[in-house]
Structure 1
Amino acid sequence: MRAGSSGPLWVGVDVGTQGVRALAVTADGRVAGRGSAPLTGRRGGVRHEQRPGDWWTAVTLATREALRDSAPEAVRGLAVCATSGTVLLTDPDGRPLTGGIMYDDARAPAEARLAQAAGAPLWDRLGHRIQPSWALAKVLWLARDRPGLLSRARIAHQADLITGRLVGKPVATDSSHALKTGYDLLDERWPHDLHDRLGLPATLFPEVVRPGTVLGEVGVEAAGQTGLRAGTPVIAGMTDGCAAQLGSGTLRPGRWNSVLGTTLVLKGVTASPVRDPAGVMYSHRAPDGTWLPGGASSVGAGVFASVADLERLDGLAARHEPSSAVAYPLVSPGERFPFLAPQAEGFMLGTPRDEGDRHAALLQGVALVERLALAYVRRLGAAVEGPVTFTGGAARSAYWCRLRADVLGRPARIPEHADAALGMAVLAACGTTPGRAPADVAESMVRIRTVVEPRPGMTDRFGAPFGRLVDELEQRGWLPSEVAAYAREHG
């Protein structure tokens, strides 16, 4: 008997930039199978495209590998996430008419300005600004570059192409992927009056459903290619960032997931949308109608990309708590969260005594920005309750996790597995087990490896470096004075 055939499974598929990952997961969070396949793209200056056909080929390879040791009939449902803002045009039958314009393609700054100006009252109400990388700007660029396509085209996000191929016909998009195409999450509709002003026909825009909605069933042709059973429910997914949050088990209001990889991303759960006048946070909508506010900083573990022997340096850094220096470790110029400062650059206040002290300053600097980010969301009225969940590559460093818990003054939950594919398996389970709250499903499927408690007195010990960093950011004109004042008092 095959390993996955003794109980139900849910499959999560993550279509990323460099590859596709698929996981087959049991009701109690055991990974019964995993698969992956690579992707490549075409970059040139500000342009970045991939071939949509390659996405489907990679999905078929990854899912077949994930189900290699499991019976197809054990799979109760499947959901797909993809990169946020990646978009293409298809014909009415779902066949690609353009390449896939990727999430970080930045060829549409003029179109972003046009969309922002035309819909400013709407964007203010929704709490975000249209960026050149957003799908709406890219659609406007395509409309200008290839006007002959509009009358027979349909917008598809990266995940939509996959779910449509699975079902065998075009299906609805989910509101998470639709957000950057200008979807109104408050009224849950497309703003067609705005589209008229922008010259975009209503026929371009697909039907939208909430994440977790059943879109259809796997067709016979797709079943033969993916290893799935024909008739398996296909569930509307979310963007990769939201999927990773589901994969962390963070779905109850007041809880926050801090994803520390190359850069730092903070995502939480609130009962109502978070209004951010600065526009550095914006909210997705969760399957149960709650909200998922988040922001992405430009500090992170990327500052250690070329550093060898990190474990040895972590041991040396433990002797310097706090470091004699205060670092603001930007991975690249410009800051996005918890303040907007395109001119920001990394800095080091003071001179570290040795390599251990310098490493400590960098580790602590990221944690201090993390502390500032939590103060920022509290200032906006969002609750921060219970432990913070740590995910991302930095969660592999036991020392850094302990240090971050100390600096934040909060317990840290560290899951066994926390990635976007797991989040989509969780969402597939939510969509096929009606009556169960998504938070309950997530907590039953996300296994916690350990909980790190902050050490007594350590949070206060890092109070002086935190204040010094806040002061410097304010003095440089990057951190608004009112945010700095709140952070000093409540951070």
Structure 2
Amino acid sequence: MAGPFLIGVDVGTTSVKTALFDAGGALCAQRSSMIETARPAQAFVEQAPEDWISATLSGLAKVLHGVSLDAVAGIGLCSQVNTHVFVDANGQALAPAIVWQDGRCAQEAAKLDRLVSEEARLKWWGAPLPIDASHVLSRIGWMTRAHSDIWRRTRWVMAPKDYCLLQLTGEACADPLSSFGVVDSSLRYVDELIALVPGAAERLPPLRNPTATIGRVRGGLPGAGLPVATATMDAWAGMVGAGAVRDGDAGYLSGTSEVVGIVSQRRVPTPGVIAFPNCEGVMLHAGPTQAGGASVAWLGGLLGRSAEEISALAAKSDLKRPAPIFLPHLQGERAPLWDIAARASFAGLDASMGASELARSVLEGVAYSVRLLLGALEASSAVAATRLRHAGGGAHSGVWCQIRADVLGRPIDRVANLDSGVVGAAALAGTAAHVFGSIEEAAGRMARIERTFEPNVAMRGYYDEGFGRYTDLYARLKGFGGRESENLVRP
């Protein structure tokens, strides 16, 4: 094999993926390690940060086996965001990481949210973005209240990839995109907001751009001496890895959650949407739902079936027969609703329905949640998305891809390498190492379309009606989930 090679690492919610690519985007080696998630109490969702770096190091050793380090141009890391680990001055995690799905900090979020005016939100973020239970300041507020001893020992509050970068290079940093909730449109920390939580400012890492080289892998570790780029969050990197980087491009990433984004230099303040600042020439309007692949995994666990078997079951369902409407709010909902109290539901069940109808209902319900989000993104970006570049584990299923195309009424362009996070992280590393002249060039060379799913026009009326029932069901059930988890503290 001839270089230059690039390495991408994606510290995801369910696994850590590491891949070695050539500069044309060809996959040369890969490794995936599963990550365990604990749910020790209602609303608590945790991971062990040590598992992230252990999986990263083993992944680097695997993909570098037999490869000359002189042929490797650099390493880039991306990760899940709104997952936070509290780290001491020696770089050691002081507690399990609080995962983005975790809702324990709803009380702190509500207090902070009431302190911020809509005018301030528009000035900072260009959109009325809420402060929710996954916001870093909500997490800090909870830790100061529930575990003041840990807070006193905390030196840094970090995202997963920044924790791993610290372990790899010894350098503490963050990027402005992963830190979107506390960074303004100038890519700087919002001092006025951060000051609402005493002690937060000095514990947030210094910011570096995604294509900056922050250091080199320390001696004694796999890849010692290789340059490491800051890179960024999984969604932004995934859009790069899917090839959605030019104005008017739209991307759809299907993983544990569904993430949709539209690139546009225009910004129309729209509730529920994250309008990222212009960074490296890309302005992304995006939003994550709460449970995409997680909904399939949940149903698969109930039925004793794999994700592939759930898709196969859905394919057996007779479209001439009705299926229930499914709200995929298994742990609340994020974009565009941002409703931590929302709860999942099947509606319209009858005795004639079985496992295949439930499977189709879940796939359709997740697609409906994306249709709702896409409408908000089109309003925010002033762009009508004519087609979507599609990646992520959920894109493996051709059945689900076709359902998405039919529900959204747009062509779905599935890319060749569905692990777009590692592709994007590698592309950012290549840009940092000057293998590519720009992010646009990197995405153009590394992301290729494998198959297009065209919407079936005969299904338009069926899914328009289904989407209407979906939105009506949420409106009717809003508030039915019972008491929120805001007062829960670890037992």
TM range (shorter): 0.7 to 0.9
Q: Which moved more, 1:454-463 or 1:242-251?
A: 454-463
Does the Cα contact within 8 Å between 1:11 and 1:23 map onto a contact in 2?
Answer: yes
Residue 399 of structure 1 deviates from its aligned partner by 2.7
Partner of 2:326: 328
Partner of 2:243: 249
RMSD (Å), alpha carbons: 3.3
Partner of 1:411: 411
Partner of 2:217: 218
Does the Cα contact within 8 Å between 1:261 and 1:301 map onto a contact in 2?
Answer: no
- Deviation string for 1:227-252 (max 9, x for gaps)? x151x221112122333333322222
Identify unmatched segments of 5+ residues in structure 2: 480-491
Structure number with higher relative contact order (C-alpha < 8 Å, ≥ 6 residues apart): 2
Q: How does 1:37-436 map to 2 (within 5 A)?
A: 37-40=33-36, 43-45=39-41, 46-92=43-89, 94-96=90-92, 98-103=94-99, 104-120=101-117, 122-123=120-121, 125=123, 126=125, 127-144=128-145, 145-146=147-148, 150=152, 153-167=155-169, 169-180=170-181, 182=182, 184-200=183-199, 202-219=201-218, 221=219, 224-226=220-222, 228-230=223-225, 232-261=226-255, 263-273=257-267, 275-277=269-271, 280-285=272-277, 286-298=279-291, 300-302=295-297, 304-305=299-300, 306-307=302-303, 308=305, 309-310=309-310, 312-317=312-317, 319-320=318-319, 323-325=321-323, 327-330=325-328, 332=330, 334-340=332-338, 342-349=341-348, 351=350, 355=354, 359-419=359-419, 420-433=421-434, 436=437
Flag the 1:204–1:409 CA change in 2: closer, same or farther, 3 A: closer
Does the Cα contact within 8 Å between 2:328 and 2:362 map onto a contact in 1?
Answer: no
CA distance in 1, matches of 2:254, 2:403: 13
Flag the 1:378–1:152 CA change in 2: closer, same or farther, 3 A: closer
Flag the 1:298–1:59 CA change in 2: closer, same or farther, 3 A: closer
TM-score normalised per structure 2: 0.81
Residue 165 of structure 1 deviates from its aligned partner by 2.8
Does the Cα contact within 8 Å between 1:49 and 1:99 map onto a contact in 2?
Answer: no
CA distance in 2, matches of 1:50, 1:369: 26
CA distance in 1, matches of 2:453, 2:179: 37
Aligned length: 461
Match of 2:77, SS? strand
CA distance in 1, matches of 2:132, 2:34: 28
- Deviation string for 1:26-84 (max 9, x for gaps)? 11111111123454466532545555444333221110001113222111111112221
Does the Cα contact within 8 Å between 1:262 and 1:331 map onto a contact in 2?
Answer: no
Partner of 2:24: 28
| 1:441 equivalenced with 2:442 (yes/no) | yes
Does the Cα contact within 8 Å between 2:286 and 2:377 map onto a contact in 1?
Answer: no
CA distance in 2, matches of 1:357, 1:196: 51
Identical counterparts, % of pairs = 23
Match of 1:200, SS? coil
Output the amino acid matched with 1:77: G
Does the Cα contact within 8 Å between 2:229 and 2:432 map onto a contact in 1?
Answer: yes
Match of 1:174, SS? coil
Match of 2:179, SS? helix
Match of 2:10, SS? strand
Match of 1:77, SS? strand
CA distance in 1, matches of 2:81, 2:314: 34
- Deviation string for 1:360-399 (max 9, x for gaps)? 5554444344333323333445313342123333322223
Work out which of the two has the higher radius of gyration on C-alpha atoms and give 1 or 2. 1
Does the Cα contact within 8 Å between 1:32 and 1:70 map onto a contact in 2?
Answer: no
Flag the 1:392–1:435 CA change in 2: closer, same or farther, 3 A: closer
Does the Cα contact within 8 Å between 2:91 and 2:166 map onto a contact in 1?
Answer: no
Does the Cα contact within 8 Å between 2:328 and 2:365 map onto a contact in 1?
Answer: no
Does the Cα contact within 8 Å between 1:132 and 1:138 map onto a contact in 2?
Answer: yes
Residue 163 of structure 1 deviates from its aligned partner by 1.6
Q: Which moved more, 1:43-52 or 1:125-134?
A: 43-52
Output the amino acid matched with 1:80: L
Flag the 1:204–1:8 CA change in 2: closer, same or farther, 3 A: same
